[in-house]
Amino acid sequence: MPTFEPGTRVPVRVASAVMAASEDTEDRQDDGLIAGDDGRRRCWWCGDDPLYVAYHDREWGRPVHDDTRLFEKLVLEGFQSGLAWITILRKREAF
């Protein structure tokens, strides 16, 4: 889990994920991965929420080359300010 110096500005989605992960550590491995219900190992921040799991498996960390998809990501990031990323994913269709 990341650590930050006092007074460091931490992005909200990072802070939210760190707080959520610290509450549910029983399935975590030392490498920061958790085993999903399907047996796949994933980053700890996606937990077991189906929307987060789908985002993790299909989009997170993958390059975007399509202009429309890139614009969508930029817009979603802009609206994310002050909200948890899961909130944005849940409202994604409204954008």
Q: Which residues are tagged catalytic?
A: 55, 77, 85
DSSP 2: -
Dihedral in degrees, nearest 10, Cα atoms 92, 86, 43, 53: -60
CA distance 69 to 9: 28
